[in-house]
């Protein structure tokens, strides 16, 4: 028992100072509330476990003694119903007050930053010079537009991309060996039927006039073309299932194309909004910056599965849910540099990580957060490229990220 | 009625397709022990990786083969192990195993019934359980591995085979297995409720029921009301996976393709899942609390303190458990006001829980405590119930949950309050009713060894996890070495893993004791613990119909221990009231 307590106390002392100071305004309230609750539960923990242990030792069996027949006592029971109720009432009221502050409306001048999650990395988006986020639509996601931001270019690119895929697949299917053979057979059957016209087909009446020469020439040309294709080097041999899968894919791509064509930038108040609000948005990967002392409202979106944006130093967390944007606001209060001084650790960095299991590389889905002065922040934002400013580079960055993602994904199959 | 017990039975009807509640109870127990061994082994495997990340362990390659190439656990396999460990422990050991074993054994015996209301449904309940267990184990061996999205299998991760290897066939089998499991649970639950309500013997009024029966009945009611919701969630998920529906899916781009899904909500699944999931916590816990109430009273030689308050607490917890599920979802973007409501209802549960804890302690006070292994495990349960329950106060507070949600703090919390408590209750029940199940006694000394190693190892594993969680370490990470800010708590990981291995090895004395005692244990007497309840009036040798003659008649409550009006320190329920004696 003593050893037990000693080890608990050692743990509490050694690891009880669990975190560096909170680096956000609500984080300080959070820590105060946490400590308040902790004192209560640690006290009750020792009280109850001690009582258990002491009673267990003191009232060991003695054959000569009879236990006290003590079946109930309303006063006692009332006491330990009412006292916990009062303590809990305090905990609830205090907790909800903090909760309301944390989840209240953000200030009008709050900086808005979008955090976008996918397997297995994060992207941050800033509104750009116009201070307005472009709308986003998952149908527009392409290598050059990883967030699916709605712009005229974005729609055109997505359409071109999808059309390219459809054309490629249709070309492949057209050169499929079985498909070619079937077509050849069809043409041959028709030609053949014409040869035998009048022999034993007497029952289809007078409406059959045989094949025109034009049609016949056309069929023969087609036959020739098909046979030529069959001998070509790009003939594919596909199993029935593979062929079906490709046809299915074409079908899905065409539906996707339809959905892209239906994309319009829409604004509930002003009808059709500007197509270009998104064009100057800024997108960053690997790290994102925040100005100190200014409230920031995060808007979270997810591309594939549920992730969770967790920033332990700021006592901040919110799930990112595909199809359902979520929000969280906070005010960073300590710059990265100050925190490095406080912790006496020149390598310290704030971090954003994923806290909802999302696949093989879940454990390494992180992004650096830099908190700095307003001027430094502005300079940094200035230096970031506008969205679509340099497509080539965007493709490159994304390809590198994809490669990293694939490396993360790849893993011995179970 | 005596003749009832002596007709010939074939091996098959006696041991396999038995309709006798005592045999079905043993079948549930054996299956649960088997599933428990597997789940513990899985946890040791992933604890090896967490304690010593990236190091090679020959044992991993021996057991897991291609899942641990070169003895290093694969990342997807890690997630599969975590998922199946959780699933088996929560559903197969602590739901099916715990309720299946003890509700079956004790409900007819303690209320004075010949058997369950429907022996046939009872048998079906076991066989659905057995088949779902087999499918769950089988899913470990399929291409792509078992389900890997965590035991809660949130979509879209679990809905999209492109998202991870474990979301393929393994996931489908998981869903099928769970559906069968729910059928088993419903058949069992309905049977328990009907039996308690209809088949109580003469004099066994509801207020004379032992607390075990109250707990089992409320558990069964919770199960019958909440498990069907899980089936809905599971069937919708199956349809999203294989029929192109989009109940849970919207705006998803994965595998280089924008899926043709809009309008579904992944959050809907979470609401449905936790509508079962939270009552499930109490489905696991209440039977353990019922068992420990009975054992603590019997071995303190004292009436359980505040019987009516205990019954009220069970009912209160049962009711409240249905309106707290949202506390699992504070950071899903749920409306903050709705969050506040769930904070309130959740913290309300602390009140009946506190009443129960204090009543246990008062029962010990001035008792005459007999330390059987069952008693030790029951007292251990009170300790873990309180320790784990207290951290629940932190997690129920939505503001505080923000920073500890899905961290090791949560893992520590529910393993102590639900895992350890419920396992302790189950083990206590096994030690206490072993003579009733198998007609022999278990070895007490080995029981002591088992208890102390389990208690020390259990706290050794889960207590340090609180600090790992408070430092901000997310759960279900394969490796934490990429995070500098966590370095200072990560030296706890090898300690935790060491205790986990000790805990696992510490179950060997129990297994030896259990199986050895079935065949070679000291032969039991009819009432070895000098208990008041009706099961101790049945013969040691099992017979059909439980009592050779007429059913016993009940004249008093179950807790007349050390009643000053009597010489002996126990008064069985069948003893008539003395002239002038008032009933408690």
Q: Identify the structural domains of chain B with CATH numbers, from first to last.
A: 19-247+263-537 (1.20.210.10)
* pLDDT for position A206: 46
- Once rounded to an integer, what is the mean pLDDT over residues B423-448? 96
> Which run of H or of E encompasses B183?
helix B169-198
| Percent of chain B surpassing pLDDT 70 | 98
Listed in sequence order, the residues at least 6 apart from A32 whose beta carbon sits closer than 8 Å to its beta carbon are none
Q: pTM value?
A: 0.90
Q: What is the pLDDT of residue B371?
A: 93
Phi/psi region, residue B75 (left: phi>0; alpha: psi -120 to 50; beta: rest), is alpha
Set of chain B residues whose Cβ sits within 8 Å of the Cβ of A45: 386-387, 390
pLDDT tier at B361, thresholds 50, 70, 90: very high
Q: Does A406 touch chain B (CB under 8 A)?
A: no
For β-strands A296-302 and A111-118, DSSP reports them as parallel
The whole-angstrom distance between A257's CA and the closest CA on chain B is 10
pLDDT at res. A63: 81
Q: Which of residues 273-302 of A touch B (CB under 8 A)?
A: 300
Q: Give the pLDDT confidence score for residue A390 in this predicted structure.
A: 52
Which residues of chain B neighbour A324 with C-beta distances below 8 Å?
250, 265-267, 333
Say if the Cβ atoms of B361 and A51 lie within 8 Å: yes
B396 in Cβ contact with B323 (< 8 Å): no
**pLDDT of amino acid A386:** 79
B249–A305: do the CB atoms touch at under 8 Å?
no
A39-44 contact pairs (CB < 8 A, 24+): A40/A87, A40/A91, A40/B393, A41/B390, A41/B391, A41/B393, A41/B394, A42/A12, A44/B386, A44/B390
| Residue whose C-alpha is closest to residue B417's, from B451, B382, B455, B450 | B382
> Hey, CA dihedral for B46, B51, B54, B59, is it positive or negative?
negative
| Chain B, nearest residue to A55 by Cα | B365
More confident: B537 or A187: B537
CA dihedral A209, A214, A216, A222 (to 10 degrees): -140
User: What is the helix (H) or strand (E) element at residue B254, kind and residue range?
Assistant: strand B253-254
pLDDT (average), residues B543-565 = 92
Best probe of the B interface among A71, A162, A339, A362, by most B CBs < 10 A, is A71
pLDDT of residue B95: 95
Q: Give the residue from A357, A368, A398, A409 with the most B CB atoms within 10 Å of its CB, the best one to mutate.
A: A357
As a whole number, the mean pLDDT across chain B is 93
Q: Which residues of B touch A310 (CB under 8 A)?
A: 406, 472, 474
Rounded mean pLDDT of B2-24? 74
H or E segment to which residue B257 belongs: strand B257-258
Interior angle at CA A345, CA A343 and CA A346, nearest 5: 130
**What's the pLDDT at A179?**
80
Q: Which CATH architecture has domain A111-129+280-409?
A: Sandwich (2.60)
- Name the closest residue on chain A to residue B568, using Cα atoms: A66
The answer, for A362 touching chain B at a CB cutoff of 8 Å, is: yes
* A46 close contact with B: CB closer than 8 A: no
Q: What interface predicted TM-score (ipTM) does this complex get?
A: 0.91
Q: Inspect the interface and report whether the beta carbons of A62 and B260 lie closer than 8 Å.
A: no
Among the ranges given (A144-153, B76-85, B167-176, B297-306), the one the predictor scored with the smallest mean pLDDT: A144-153
Residue A34: list chain B partners with CB under 8 A.
Answer: 394, 400
Q: Which residue of A has its CA nearest to B66?
A: A414
- Among A406-410, B260-264, B452-456, the range of highest mean pLDDT: B452-456
pLDDT at residue number A401: 52
Reported as a single tens digit per residue, the pLDDT across B314-328 is 999 999 999 999 999
Tokens representing A277 are 């609000």
- Location of structure tokens 């392409």: A142
Instruction: Pick the more confident residue, B136 or A405.
Output: B136
Residue B518 CB burial class (10 angstroms; 0-12, 13-18, ≥19): middle
Burial class from Cβ neighbours inside 10 Å (0-12, 13-18, 19+) for residue B456 reads middle
Q: Where does B331-372 have alpha helices with state H?
A: 336-348, 350-364
Which one is predicted more confidently, A138 or B6? Answer: A138
Model confidence at B92, in pLDDT bands (50, 70, 90)?
A: very high
Q: Is B342 in a helix, a strand, or coil?
A: helix
Buried b (16+ CB within 10 A) or exposed e, A161-182: bbeebbeeeeebbebbeebbee
Q: Is B128 helix (H, G, I), strand (E, B) or coil?
A: helix
- B551 close to B202: Cβ distance less than 8 angstroms: yes
Nearest to B151 by CA among B241, B80, B64: B80
Q: Map chain A to HEC letters.
A: CHHHHHHHHHHHHHHCCCCCCCCEHHHHHHHHHHHHHHHHHHHHHHHHHHHHHHHHHHCECCCCCCCCCCCCCHHHHHHHHHHHHHHHHHHHHHHHHHHHHHHCCCCCCCEEEEEEEECCEEEEEECCCCCCCCCECHHHCECCECCCECCHHHHHHHHHHHHHHHHHHHHHHHCEHHHHHHHHHHHHHHHHHHHCCCCCCHHHHHHCCCCCHHHHHHHHHHHHHHHHHHHCCCCECCCHHHHHHHHHHHHHHHHHHHHHHCCCCEECCCEECCCCCCCCCEEEECEEEEECCCCEEEEEEECCCCEEEEEHHHCEEEEEECCECEEEEECECCCHHHHHHHHCCCCCCEEEEECCCCCCCHHHCEEEEEEECHHHHHHHHHHCCECCCCHHHHHHHHHHHHHHHHHHHCCCCC
Query: CB B484 to CB A347 under 8 A?
Result: yes
| Burial group, residue A247, by CB count within 10 angstroms (0-12, 13-18, 19+) | middle
Whether B219 has a pLDDT exceeding 80, the answer reads yes
Specify the pLDDT at position A67.
85
Q: Which of B155, B313, B367 to mutate to test the interface with A (most CBs of A within 10 A)?
A: B367
The predicted model gives B114-143 an average pLDDT of: 95
Chain center to CA of B420: 9
Query: Could you read off the pLDDT of B14-30 as tens digits, one per residue?
Result: 778 889 999 999 999 99
Res B194 pLDDT > 90? yes
Nearest C-alpha neighbor of B404 from the set B461, B463, B470: B470
Q: How many residues does chain A have?
A: 414
pLDDT of B5 > 50? The answer is no
- Using a CB-CB cut-off of 8 Å, the residues of chain A touching B356 are none
* A134-184 confidence digits (pLDDT tens): 888 999 998 888 999 888 888 888 899 899 999 999 888 888 887 888 888
Q: What is the pLDDT averaged over residues B375-402?
A: 95
Judge whether B248 and B154 are in contact, CB under 8 Å: no
Least confident of A15-24, A128-137, B444-453, B505-514: A15-24
Q: What is the pLDDT of residue A408?
A: 47
Q: What angle is formed at CA B237 by the lines to CA B231 and CA B238, rounded to 5 degrees?
A: 90
Question: What does the pLDDT read at residue B2?
Answer: 41
Distance, in angstroms, between A206 CA and closest chain B CA? 50
Cβ-based burial of B576 (10 A; exposed 0-12, middle 13-18, buried ≥19): exposed
The residue extents of the domains of chain A are 111-129+280-409
Q: Are the beta carbons of A360 and B484 separated by less than 8 Å? A: no
Instruction: Give all strands of the β-sheet with A287-291 in edge-to-edge order.
Output: A287-291, A366-372, A350-354, A307-311, A316-320
Cβ-defined contacts of A240-244 (< 8 Å, 24+)? A240/A178, A243/A173, A243/A176, A243/A178, A243/A179
**Helix, coil or strand: residue B182:** helix
Q: Which residue has the tokens 């069952």?
A: B374
Q: What is the pLDDT of residue A400?
A: 54
Of B74, B266, B362, the CB nearest to A321: B266
State whether A313 and B67 contact (CB < 8 Å).
Answer: no
Taking a C-beta distance cutoff of 8 angstroms, is the pair B210, B242 a contact? no
Which among B143, B305, B464 has the least Cβ separation from residue A11?
Answer: B464
Residues in chain A where the model's pLDDT stays below 50: 200-206, 394, 405-414
Going by the DSSP 8-state scheme, the letter that residue B232 receives in this structure is H
| C-beta of residue B209 within 8 angstroms of C-beta of residue B573 | no
* Chain B residues with beta carbon closer than 8 angstroms to that of A48: 357, 361, 383, 386
What is the reported pLDDT for B565?
A: 87
Alpha-carbon distances of B76 from A26, A315, A321, A359, rounded to whole Å: 37, 29, 22, 7
Chain A residues with CB-CB distance to B149 below 8 A:
357
> Which of A37, A38, A66 is nearest residue B368 as measured by Cβ atoms?
A66
Nearest CA in chain A to B142: A414
Q: Which residues of B touch A19 (CB under 8 A)?
A: 470-472
Question: Distance, in angstroms, between B364 CA and closest chain A CA?
Answer: 6
Q: Among all residues of chain B, which has the CA nearest to that of A314?
A: B403
Residue A170's alpha-carbon distances to A143, A260, A261, in angstroms, are 22, 20, 20
Q: With contacts defined as CB-CB under 8 Å, which chain A residues touch B77?
A: 412, 414
pLDDT of A71: 84
Which residues of chain A are within 8 Å of residue B303 when distances are taken between CB atoms? 69-71
Which phi and psi angles does B56 have, rounded to 5°?
Answer: -95, 130
Predicted confidence at residue A126, as pLDDT, reads 94
- Minimum-distance CB partner of A56 among B333, B336, B379: B379
């Amino acid at each position: 028992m003593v050893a037990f307590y000693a080890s608990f106390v050692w743990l509490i002392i050694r690891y009880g100072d669990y975190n560096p100071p909170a680096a956000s305004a609500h984080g300080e309230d959070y820590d105060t509330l946490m400590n308040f609750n902790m004192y209560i539960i640690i006290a009750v923990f020792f009280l109850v476990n001690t009582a258990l242990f002491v009673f267990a030792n003191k009232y060991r069996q003695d054959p000569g003694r009879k236990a006290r027949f003590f079946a109930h006592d309303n006063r006692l029971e009332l006491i330990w119903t009412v006292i916990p109720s009062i303590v809990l009432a305090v905990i609830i009221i205090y907790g909800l007050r903090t909760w309301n502050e944390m989840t209240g409306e953000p200030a009008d001048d709050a900086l808005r930053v979008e955090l976008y999650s996918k397997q297995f990395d994060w992207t941050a988006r800033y509104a750009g010079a116009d201070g307005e986020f472009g709308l986003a639509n998952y149908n527009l996601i392409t290598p050059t537009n990883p967030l699916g931001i709605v712009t005229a270019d974005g729609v055109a690119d997505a359409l071109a991309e999808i059309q390219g895929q459809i054309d490629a697949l249709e070309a492949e299917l057209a050169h499929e060996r079985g498909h070619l053979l079937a077509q050849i057979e069809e043409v041959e059957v028709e030609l053949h039927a014409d040869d035998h016209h009048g022999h034993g087909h007497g029952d289809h009446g007078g409406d059959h006039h045989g094949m025109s020469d034009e049609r016949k020439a056309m069929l023969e040309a087609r036959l020739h073309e098909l046979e030529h294709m069959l001998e070509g080097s790009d003939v594919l041999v596909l199993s029935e299932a593979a062929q079906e899968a490709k046809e299915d894919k074409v079908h899905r791509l065409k539906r996707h194309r339809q959905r892209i064509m239906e994309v319009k930038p829409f604004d509930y108040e002003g009808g059709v909004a500007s197509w270009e609000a998104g064009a100057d948005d800024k997108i960053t990967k690997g790290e994102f910056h925040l100005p100190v002392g200014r409230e920031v409202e995060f808007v979270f979106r997810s591309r594939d599965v549920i992730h969770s944006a967790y920033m332990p130093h700021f006592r901040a967390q919110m799930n990112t849910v595909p199809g359902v944007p979520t929000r969280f606001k906070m005010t960073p209060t300590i710059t990265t540099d100050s925190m490095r001084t406080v912790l006496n650790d020149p390598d310290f960095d704030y971090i954003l990580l994923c806290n909802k299991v999302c696949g093989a590389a879940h454990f390494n889905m992180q992004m650096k957060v830099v908190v700095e002065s307003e001027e430094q922040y502005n300079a940094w934002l200035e230096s970031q490229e506008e969205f679509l400013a340099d497509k080539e580079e965007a493709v490159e960055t994304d390809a590198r990220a994809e490669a990293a993602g694939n490396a993360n994904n790849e893993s011995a199959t179970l | 009625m005596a003749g009832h017990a002596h007709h010939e039975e074939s091996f098959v009807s006696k041991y396999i397709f038995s309709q006798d509640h005592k045999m079905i109870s043993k079948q549930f127990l054996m299956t649960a022990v088997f599933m428990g061994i597997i789940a513990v082994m899985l946890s040791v495997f992933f604890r090896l990786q967490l304690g010593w990340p990236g190091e090679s362990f020959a044992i991993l390659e021996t057991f897991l083969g291609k899942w641990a190439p070169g003895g290093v656990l694969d990342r997807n396999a890690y997630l599969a192990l975590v998922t199946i460990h959780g699933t088996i422990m929560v559903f197969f050991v602590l739901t099916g195993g715990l309720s299946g074993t003890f509700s079956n054994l004790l409900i007819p015996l303690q209320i004075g019934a010949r058997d369950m209301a429907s022996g046939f449904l009872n048998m079906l309940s076991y066989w659905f359980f057995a088949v779902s267990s087999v499918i769950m184990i089988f899913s470990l061996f399929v291409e792509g591995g078992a389900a890997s999205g965590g035991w809660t299998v949130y979509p879209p991760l679990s809905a999209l085979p492109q998202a991870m290897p474990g979301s393929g066939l393994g996931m489908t089998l998981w869903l099928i297995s769970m559906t069968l499991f729910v059928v088993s649970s419903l058949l069992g639950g309905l049977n328990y409720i009907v039996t308690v309500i209809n088949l109580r013997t003469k004099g066994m009024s509801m207020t004379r029921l032992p607390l075990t029966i109250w707990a089992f009945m409320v558990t069964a009611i919770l199960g019958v009301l909440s498990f069907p919701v899980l089936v809905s969630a599971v069937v919708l998920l199956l349809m999203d996976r294989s029929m192109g529906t989009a109940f849970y899916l919207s705006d998803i781009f994965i595998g280089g393709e924008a899926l043709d899904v809009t309008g579904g909500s992944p959050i809907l699944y979470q609401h449905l899942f936790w509508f079962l999931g939270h009552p499930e916590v109490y489905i696991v816990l209440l039977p353990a609390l019922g068992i420990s109430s009975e054992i603590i009273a019997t071995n303190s030689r004292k009436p359980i303190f505040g019987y009516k308050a205990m019954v009220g607490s069970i009912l209160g917890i049962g009711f409240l458990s249905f309106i707290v599920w949202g506390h699992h979802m504070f950071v899903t973007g749920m409306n903050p006001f709705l969050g506040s409501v769930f904070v309130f209802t959740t913290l309300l549960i602390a009140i009946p829980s506190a009443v129960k804890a204090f009543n246990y302690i008062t029962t010990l006070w001035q008792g005459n405590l007999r330390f059987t292994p069952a008693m030790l495990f029951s007292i251990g349960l009170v300790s873990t119930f309180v320790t784990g329950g207290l951290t629940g106060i932190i997690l129920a507070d939505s503001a505080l949950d923000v920073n500890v949600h899905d961290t090791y703090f949560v893992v520590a919390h529910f393993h102590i309050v639900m895992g350890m408590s419920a396992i302790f209750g189950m083990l206590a029940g096994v030690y206490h009713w072993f003579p009733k199940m198998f007609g022999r006694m278990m070895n007490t000394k080995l029981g002591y060894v088992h208890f102390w190693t389990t208690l020390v190892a259990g706290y050794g594993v889960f207590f340090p996890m609180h600090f790992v969680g408070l430092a901000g370490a997310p759960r279900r990470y394969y490796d934490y070495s990429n995070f500098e800010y966590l370095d200072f708590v990560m030296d706890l990981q090898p300690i935790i893993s060491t205790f986990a291995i000790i805990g696992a090895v510490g179950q060997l004395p129990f297994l030896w004791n259990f199986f050895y005692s079935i065949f070679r244990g000291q032969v039991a007497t009819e009432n070895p613990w000098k208990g008041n309840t009706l099961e101790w009036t049945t013969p040691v040798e099992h017979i059909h119909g439980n009592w050779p003659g007429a059913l016993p008649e009940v004249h008093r409550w179950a807790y007349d221990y050390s009643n000053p009006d009597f010489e002996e320190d126990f008064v069985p329920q069948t003893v008539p009231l003395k002239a002038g004696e008032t009933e408690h």
